[in-house]
């Protein structure tokens, strides 16, 4: 399984020379399987460049949305394959209590917020996420609700030899006096348990977190503690705060990692970074 980061920023795009190393685009991750199946996790602004990079051989793309906050959706209308009659795009995401995913998406993908109607996209198939595991190509996928405002899921994506968990927006420490709690009382644990690679929200510093409790995000220290609890092999800290420049992400990651003393590998998510997990030969 090959995982490439196309957008690592949280909340709002933050381009500029100060964010060039970690990147300014919002959440988007490409996952390629050993048989060539293409998954895209979230449709932040990073999905525009991903769309341009896909070769003509790709005929089906499955986009998995964690939730519909704008930083995870804003790039969708600029994803070139949506307008290509030779490509079938499947869009998966959470319904709400009263609206299915299509109806929820139409609030954004329609005038006056966007000039193109969802119904005018030639080969788009929209799926409400099923309650249990489902399969796309060689991937077995599990979506489960996690602690973040609104209807938000995290994903566990597995092949026969590799596992990835993607919890881009996640506040498991909300209301917990001493984090982490026991594993069975920790949001997201079932998704992240024993994975090879965990991409996890790490928006704030520990000092910033108290001013943002309930906003649905983690301090870097929380991401580290969560990764340790779930016994992941490699943690990628993700959804960087737009106010953090490259040097600050370096400093905050270094300080938190030194404090936590975790046993897993820790990498701050950088746009363009590629991770190969499992034993399959990489594609693309």
Partner 1 sequence: MSQKPIELIVMRQLASTLAMPIFLVDADGTLVFYNEPAERVLGKRFEETGEMPPSEWSTLWQPMEADGRPLAPERLPLMIAFSDRKPAHGEFWIQSLDGARRQIRATAFPLIRLTDEVVGAVVIFWETAP
Cβ 5 vs Cβ 15: under 8 Å: no
Give the nearer residue to partner 1 in terms of CB position, either 129 or 197: 129
Give the nearer residue to partner 1 in terms of CB position, either 116 or 183: 183
Nearest to 252, CA basis, from 189, 209, 214: 209
Contact flag: residue 146 with partner 1 (CB under 8 A): yes
Among 62, 84, 144, 221, binds partner 1 (CB under 8 A): 144
Among 60, 140, 145, 234, binds partner 1 (CB under 8 A): 145
Q: Residue 164 CB, nearest distance to partner 1 (Å)?
A: 18
Per-residue interface string for the shown chain with partner 1, residues 253-272, x marking contact by CB under 8 A: --------------------
Contact flag: residue 174 with partner 1 (CB under 8 A): yes
Cβ 181 vs Cβ 205: under 8 Å: no
Among 6, 22, 139, 151, binds partner 1 (CB under 8 A): 151
Cβ 188 vs Cβ 226: under 8 Å: yes
Interface segment toward partner 1; rule CB under 8 A; list 49-57, 103-111, 179-187, 256-264:
179-187
Q: Residue 187 CB, nearest distance to partner 1 (Å)?
A: 5
Contact flag: residue 218 with partner 1 (CB under 8 A): no
Residue 147 and residue 132: Cα distance in Å, rounded?
18
Give the nearer residue to partner 1 in terms of CB position, either 58 or 176: 176
Give the nearer residue to partner 1 in terms of CB position, either 183 or 274: 183
Among 66, 159, 168, 187, binds partner 1 (CB under 8 A): 187
Q: Residue 205 CB, nearest distance to partner 1 (Å)?
A: 22
Contact flag: residue 165 with partner 1 (CB under 8 A): no
Contact flag: residue 99 with partner 1 (CB under 8 A): no
Nearest to 167, CA basis, from 232, 102, 105, 109: 232
Residue 252 and residue 94: Cα distance in Å, rounded?
33
Backbone φ and ψ for 40, nearest 5 degrees, come out as -125, 125
Contact flag: residue 127 with partner 1 (CB under 8 A): no
Backbone φ and ψ for 124, nearest 5 degrees, come out as -105, 130
Contact flag: residue 189 with partner 1 (CB under 8 A): yes
Residue 38 and residue 261: Cα distance in Å, rounded?
35
Cβ 65 vs Cβ 102: under 8 Å: no
Residue 47 and residue 38: Cα distance in Å, rounded?
13
Collapsed DSSP state (helix, strand, coil) of residue 243: coil
Q: Which residues are within 8 A (CB) of 17 and not within 5 positions of it... i.e. 6 or more apart?
A: none
Nearest to 87, CA basis, from 56, 109, 63, 65: 56
Burial status of residue 119 (CB atoms within 10 A of its CB: 0-12, 13-18, 19 or more)? exposed
Give the nearer residue to partner 1 in terms of CB position, either 175 or 282: 175
Among 53, 115, 120, 185, binds partner 1 (CB under 8 A): 185
Q: What are the residues binding partner 1 (CB under 8 A)?
A: 95-97, 131, 144-147, 151, 174-177, 182-190
């Amino acid at each position: 399984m090959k995982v490439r980061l196309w957008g690592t920023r949280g909340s709002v795009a933050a381009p500029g020379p100060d964010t060039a190393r970690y990147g300014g685009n919002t959440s988007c991750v490409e996952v390629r399987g050993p048989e060539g199946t293409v998954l895209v996790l979230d449709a932040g602004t990073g999905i525009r460049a991903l769309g341009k990079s896909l070769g003509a051989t790709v005929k089906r793309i499955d986009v998995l949305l964690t939730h519909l906050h704008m930083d995870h959706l804003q790039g969708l209308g600029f994803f070139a394959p949506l307008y290509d009659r030779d490509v079938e795009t499947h869009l998966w995401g959470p319904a709400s209590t009263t609206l299915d995913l299509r109806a929820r998406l139409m609030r954004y993908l329609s005038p006056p917020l966007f000039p193109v109607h969802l119904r005018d996209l030639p080969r788009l198939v929209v799926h409400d996420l099923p309650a249990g595991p489902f399969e796309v190509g060689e991937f077995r996928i599990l979506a489960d609700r996690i602690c973040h405002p609104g209807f938000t899921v995290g994903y566990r994506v597995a092949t026969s030899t590799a596992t990835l968990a993607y919890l881009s927006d996640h506040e498991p420490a909300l209301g917990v006096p001493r984090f982490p709690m026991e594993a069975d009382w920790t949001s997201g644990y079932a998704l992240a348990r024993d994975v090879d690679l965990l991409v996890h929200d790490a928006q704030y510093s520990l000092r910033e977190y108290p001013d943002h409790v309930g906003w649905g995000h983690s301090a870097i220290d929380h991401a580290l503690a969560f990764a340790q609890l779930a016994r992941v092999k490699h943690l990628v800290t993700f959804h960087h705060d737009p106010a953090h420049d490259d040097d600050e992400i370096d400093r905050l990651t270094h300080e938190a990692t030194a404090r936590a003393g975790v046993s897993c590998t820790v990498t701050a998510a950088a746009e363009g970074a590629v991770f190969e997990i499992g034993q399959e030969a990489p594609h693309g």
